[in-house]
Every structure is written in C-alpha cells, then in structure tokens.
A and B are shown apart, each in its own frame.
Chain A
C-alpha cells in the first residue's frame, strides 16, 4: 500500500474513537465477515491500526476506499471541528429544479476545471443532505487527503455548511457551488459553531417555536395538582409573562447548541462621566463575545429570570431570528446590508 494511503488510514484511526470502530467498519461493509471477526477490538489503538493495515493490504484497498470510511464516520458524527455557513443568493430561474444527479455532475466537472488535481466524493445522507468531501491538490501536487474539506448542502435551500476550508480554497469552492446550484452570488452568512446539527436546526427553525398569544396558558386548571397547594408564588403572573416573552424570543423546549455570539462594536463611546473619551470623534472599537455550552438556553434563562429586561432586546433576539451569531454594530444608519444592525439605546 502506498505511503500516502497508509498515512490516511492512520489519520482515520486517530479520528475514530475505539468504541465507535466496530460499528463504523460494519457500516462501511468492505471487510468480509471473517476479517471483521478476526479483529480484536479490545486491543490498543496502535495494535488495531496495524491489524487494519494488514487487512487493507490483503484486500488491496486504495485511497478511495479509505476516504469512504472516513466519510461514513464524519457523516454520523458531524459535531466536531468548526462549521461555517455560506448563503447562496440570486437564484436563477431553474435553481428550484436542480436535482441530485445533475448537481453531482455539474459540481464535479466545474471543480475539476478550476483545480487540476482534486479528489471529490459526493454522498447523499438519509435526511436528504448532500455531503461532499474534497481533497485539494494543485497543478504540481496530488490531492492532500490529510486535510479534506467537508461541505454539506440541502438541495434547493440557500445554505451551505463548510468545515476545514482555507481562504485560498474558498473562491474555488464558491465558484463551483454557484455554477452547480444555479445561483449568482454567495456570501458569508455570519453563523458558525461546533455543532452541525445545531446550526442547521437554527437556520431551518427545527426547534419548538412559541408564537405570541393573548392568552398564554389556556388550561390553567390542569396544572394545579402538580405543585403543592400550600406553596404559593406571589409574583407568579409577572414570572409567567417573562417566561412567555423569553420563549417567544428564543423558542420553547430544547434549543440548538450555539457556542458563542460575537458583536463587533463600532459605536462612539457614551458615558457622561468621562468627558475625554466621549469627546473623541472616532468610534470606540470593541468586541463583545458571549460564550456558553448552550448559548440560546443561557440567554433564554437570563430573560425569564429577570436578569435581562423583557421584552427581549432585538440585539439578542436577532440571533435566532436571523440565524446569525456575528454582528457588526454601528451608530449611523444601515451600512452594507448584510452586516449592520441598529443599536437599541
């Protein structure tokens, strides 16, 4: 087996944790039953790598077989690494009728025109997502399988999720995506996160939405038996209002796991007690970052417990509303349309 293929297998073995190895290999299905049985999964990773290497050599596997294994693992465990979202704009007339075979052929041919040596693998996942694995090379070197880019796209939606894409590769990928999905422009959607399922659910609103209603709790009588009748909350109504407004802004139930929200402020300094800073003409640049294991959950709790004032300020509620977590805030009217937002005070 070639050196590069060996290194690729070693990298895959580093990626996959031991407890997931058996199921992933079974899903891959390229080992015969005897070969699968001959592997002792309780040995150390290093010993397992050697065993797999010998079986792969026995079967004369090439790079393309191994990349299939890597892709199966990543498709089932997408919540690693950093995913960024791009948005396709200005669809042409036939953008809504792009279907899978056409997209696959077009994408492969366009990308191969742009980059001489590139290795592309496209698979459709069970939830209709198209997964693309790209190993980039250039005019003089073969594709580098140790740093592949993964792209996830749901056909006929404007979002494209990418991970591991360098700035040099971005314009090439963008061009290929535009031509194969029949759109005219692509831009940064200002949304990123570690959890692919979370950012996808956020964009497609696949979490429980709470709609504004005049009578928030229509069946109040049903809840009486749950809590002890001897315990009474004095301020139950304001608390219920706060909870309803928080859920309206962020959603009810379990929320998609965003890790951070970044606000880049380019506003003038405002503090009446500090004359020297307020007199400056230039904006006071600073960056505010909110970080949490589940940011939307934390923000909703801030609003419902009264730490953040309700109704929820648009600066916070636009995170789920617009599906972004990077904002640039300026004092004056809207600047470039994709990026600015009016501050509240």
Chain B
C-alpha cells in the first residue's frame, strides 16, 4: 500500500506544501484560494478527496509539509472518510505534520458524540484540532491564518522551531469528563 512519506523528497526554497483532504471538496477550495495569497513565501496547495493519493502523481508531487483533514461534523461519512484516510499516512507525519480541522461544530445537525469522537481521534494521534467556520469570508480568512502559522513551522521556515516542538503546545487533549453527559 502506498504511504505518503514526509521526508522522501528535498524541500523547496522559501516554499511550503500543504495537502487539504476533505470528502465534500468544498471548504478546501475556498481555503486554497486564500492560502495562495500569502506573499512572504510560496504556498503550494494540493487538494484531495481522500487518501491514498493516485500513483500517477507520485513523481510530480513535492514534499508535503502539512496534511490537514477537514471534517464536516454534520456528516458521519465525512468523519469515517477521514479515519479511513489516516491509514495511508506514514507514521512520520504524526510528529506535528498532521492537523484536523472541524467545521459546523455549532450546528444543530451535528450530534455532540461526533465532536467527542473527533476530539478523541485528534488526542490519540497527538494532533491539533482546529474549529473553523466555512460560510463567511472572515471565517475562511481566520482558518487560513491559523493553518499558515502551523504550516510555517512544519515547512521549517521559522527558525528555532520544529513541528514536533510546536505539537507539544498545540496538540488536542481530551477533557477528563468527556464521558459525562454535558448540559446544553
């Protein structure tokens, strides 16, 4: 099975590559449009619906610095697709090069159990869990800024900081009372 490996290629000069994985293929497009507007360094965005990635792009694909899984909490299939895609990722990515981004957390159509499952997933993999709002341009801009912060470190563009170091600060934790029913 072809795993996506983090260090199989040489890095590019003053550039970073980010892979956005989303089953619905909607939020990733708006994020991509804002991400490429970054001026201090070149951001290459690659969009995918799920992993594993097709073999045909193997040679032309650059080194992926950050893999972001976008999960829509209103859809169970979205979460399942993200979990299934995790298996095609080399374990080396889980040292700070993977991030989970969750949308529609406040929506009434999203059951609370699903958010707990996403939280536990991110915590067990020591990855950050970001909440994003995808309907307004402001929400997209905010999400992009947070992704860029993590991306800069993951691509090695921030001196004295590595992604493993950053992941100690950003990784998601599960509150000890997650099994208790919460008040709404």
Contacts and interface: CB of A to CB of B under 8 A. Distances in A.
Interface of A: 228, 230-235, 237-239, 305-306
A232 B44 contact: yes
Nearest to A305: B25
A231 B47 contact: yes
A230 B36 contact: yes
Nearest to B29: A231
Interface in B8-26: 19, 24-25
A234 B36 contact: no
**What are the nearest 8 A-B pairs in CB distance?**
A234-B48, A230-B36, A231-B32, A231-B45, A233-B47, A234-B53, A232-B46, A230-B44
Contacts of A237: 54, 56
Contacts of B46: 231-234
Contact of A234 (B32, B33, B42, B54): B54
A239 B33 contact: no
B114 interface: no
A235 B19 CA distance: 12
B3 to A, nearest CB: 15
17 contacts: A228-B33, A230-B43, A230-B44, A231-B45, A231-B46, A232-B44, A233-B46, A233-B47, A234-B53, A234-B61, A235-B48, A235-B49, A237-B54, A237-B56, A238-B54, A305-B24, A306-B49
Interface in B45-73: 45-49, 53-54, 56-57, 61
Q: Helix, strand, loop or mixed for chain B's interface?
A: mixed
B106 to A, nearest CB: 25
Contacts of A231: 32-33, 36, 44-47
A217 B43 CA distance: 28
- Which of B19, B36, B49, B53 has its CB near the most chain A CB atoms (within 10 A)? B49
Contacts of B57: 234
Interface residues of B, number: 19
A34 to B, nearest CB: 56
A233 B25 CA distance: 10
Contacts of A233: 46-48
A231 B57 CA distance: 14
A307 to B, nearest CB: 9
Interface of B: 19, 24-25, 32-33, 36, 42-49, 53-54, 56-57, 61
Contacts of B47: 231-234
Contacts of A235: 48-49, 53-54
A228 B49 contact: no
B116 to A, nearest CB: 26
B12 to A, nearest CB: 12
B166 to A, nearest CB: 24
A235 B46 CA distance: 10
Nearest to B51: A234
Contacts of A230: 36, 42-45
A239 B56 contact: no
A232 B49 contact: no
Nearest to B44: A230
A197 B47 CA distance: 39
A212 B44 CA distance: 34
Contacts of B42: 230
A121 to B, nearest CB: 51
A305 B26 CA distance: 10
Nearest to A307: B77
Contacts of B54: 234-235, 237-238
Nearest to B61: A234
A130 B178 CA distance: 69
A232 B45 contact: yes
B76 to A, nearest CB: 13
Nearest to A306: B49
A232 to B, nearest CB: 5
A306 to B, nearest CB: 7
A213 to B, nearest CB: 21
Contacts of A234: 19, 46-48, 53-54, 57, 61
A228 B44 CA distance: 10
A232 B62 CA distance: 11
Contacts of A232: 44-47
Given A231-B32, A235-B54, 13 more contacts: A228-B36, A230-B36, A230-B43, A231-B33, A231-B45, A231-B46, A232-B45, A233-B48, A234-B47, A234-B53, A237-B54, A237-B56, A305-B24
A230 B54 CA distance: 19
A107 B36 CA distance: 68
Contacts of B53: 234-235
